[in-house]
Structure 1
Amino acid sequence: MQNRYFVPKNLKFILLPILLVFMGFIGVQAQMETMKSLDEQVHYYSERYKVNCTDEKITDNFGNGHPELYGTRNMRPILHGVAYRGGANNYYHNSAKRDNHNPLPPDGMMNLCIEGFSDAVYLYSKNYDSSEKQLEANGNTLNYHQITGNTNTEIKQIIQMVYDVINRKNEGPIYFHCWNGWHQSGYVSASILKQFCDYDNDEAYDYWMRNTDGANKGYDKIKQMVRDFEPFAEFTISDETKKLICPCRAK
């Protein structure tokens, strides 16, 4: 007797989304495995996130905009394919809401890892000990650090991390984040832009102000830190590299 199996007519509509997600996951992995040069990395992430200028957001204040980056907030480029800034989506998280004063949620860390980020840096210290310090996914490894950047030693450490990605000593971009993606991440980003994209003090200050989404009353200490940062002589890059990685100043 011949066996007969029932196949739902709408099976293709059930399987197609699953297949597309799987193919996308494999495609991302394959593309990331073939990236060898800085040019390729910059092109890959520029095409993936579709932002050109420093003030453009990849994820919005509620963490939406790119599902593959869920867990971040107010994510913006600092240097294309090299460094990005933002916050941690805790307060507005759709399934694991918690106090805003926390590090990245677990899905945010996992998503950055899957996206090929090599490092994420929490720019505050509160509750950092509760987080995983290293994740592996999709053939990638993400290291999670806590560095405020408030001392000369720490901001130099941050600049060194960025410099190592530019010079391919470390592959995969870095995500620098505070809580909202406004103040501390803005200071660190302004310092990176002064170091690698020739921002002067006024340009760095204006950049910090613009990217606080209006929450910039007070904060005198951090505003002064933005102005006071002086680029380190040992971390220089060519004009050609600057043209490749530096976003346009504003949109």
Structure 2
Amino acid sequence: MMKPAERAFLICAAFALISGAAVVGLPLAARAPAQEAATASPGLSTSVDAYSRRYAGLSTPFDSIMDDRGTGFAGVAGTRNFRVVLRGILYRGGANNAYGDFRLADQKRRQGPLQARALQNLCKEGFADAFFAYGNRALHETVNCARDRGSNVLSYRGLRPQSPGSDRREFLRILHDQITGPDHRPVFVHCWNGYHASGIAAAVALRQFCGISAEDAVAYWKSEAPSLPEPAQTKSIDQIRNFSPIPELTLTPADQKIVCYGGALVGQKAVYRLPKAASATPARTRSL
């Protein structure tokens, strides 16, 4: 005859199997997914924290350490409206080809790609990739530079992640690799001003990796992009609203917590903000 203690154990075990609860002695393979989901990608937190300290003025996605005329943090000179999207991983902005030392005489070239000096600065900041959202596949440069601790290689390409298609998927795959793989160096995506195309790319990335809603993503884009004439405004909004996140590029909750901004994205306005410690330094030479 079965003893009461044995009967109680079998009843508890059966209930646990039916409900999906963990049971002592269950194979490790059956428990691995939950354990994996709770663990962040190795080295990610360290890299993200380092860039968060480096760009201390970027406490929210609405802050910028370079203003609309390319004045601000000297480390990313040659860009404009430099903002964070995914902490330590993705930054957005525009090209400074029209102001200060970076001003180009040719009007058409002002709406072109980043200049060599700007690319050198991004390389020295440790960026892995930079993408020009209005460029085509013919634009592809490799930039080498020396850094305080060794060297770096930056890849600069024309890629259009603001539009549905293979470019967008490649952009999101690269970001996913930078988050989950061994190389956590950041990525920079830019357009002319840092408003519209780079903003769409950023909004899509926030939908893919941070799980924000379509309407919150649209509100985020509008907060940093002056209204476009129709039908461009509606088309831009639709490019964000109609995006469906790619299941195989989903992040674990642990990685999301590291790279995603946890504050509200609705009702915010873009601002230009430098850390208080740098406020007394002349604008063109400020550094963090």
Contact 1:59–1:74 (8 Å) recurs in 2: yes
Which stretches of structure 1, 4 residues or longer, exceed 4 Å deviation after superposition? none
Highest RCO, 1 vs 2 (Cα 8 Å, sep ≥ 6): 2
Amino acid at match of 1:80: R
Q: Which of 107, 111, 130 is the matching residue for 1:120?
A: 130
The yes-or-no answer on 1:47 pairing with 2:53 is: yes
The yes-or-no answer on 1:243 pairing with 2:257 is: yes
Q: Which of 122, 144, 148 is the matching residue for 2:156?
A: 144
Corresponding residue number in structure 2 for 1:67: 74
Secondary structure of 2:101's counterpart equals: coil
Cα separation, 2, equivalents of 1:95 and 1:230: 38
The yes-or-no answer on 1:86 pairing with 2:90 is: no
Q: Which of 58, 67, 77 is the matching residue for 2:65?
A: 58
Contact 1:209–1:216 (8 Å) recurs in 2: no
| TM-score for the superposition, normalised by structure 1 | 0.80
CA offsets per residue over residues 216-246 of structure 1, 9 Å max, x none?
4532211110111110000111112111111
Contact 2:78–2:102 (8 Å) recurs in 1: no
Same amino acid, percent of matched pairs: 31
Which structure 2 residue ranges, 5 or more long, are not aligned? 1-41, 269-288
Corresponding residue number in structure 1 for 2:43: 37
Cα separation, 1, equivalents of 2:229 and 2:183: 37
Amino acid at match of 1:135: V
CA offsets per residue over residues 130-152 of structure 1, 9 Å max, x none?
x6601111200000011112232
CA offsets per residue over residues 13-47 of structure 1, 9 Å max, x none?
xxxxxxxxxxxxxxxxxxxxxxx711111001101
Amino acid at match of 2:86: L
Matches within 5 A, 1:161-240: 161-212=174-225, 214-218=226-230, 219-240=233-254
Contact 2:96–2:103 (8 Å) recurs in 1: no
CA offsets per residue over residues 177-202 of structure 1, 9 Å max, x none?
01100000011000000001111110
Cα separation, 1, equivalents of 2:217 and 2:178: 22
| TM-score for the superposition, normalised by structure 2 | 0.70
Amino acid at match of 1:143: S
The yes-or-no answer on 1:77 pairing with 2:81 is: no
Amino acid at match of 2:98: Y
Query: CA distance change for structure 1 residues 104 and 164 in 2, over 3 Å: closer, same or farther?
Result: same
CA offsets per residue over residues 62-92 of structure 1, 9 Å max, x none?
1111011101110110101101001000012
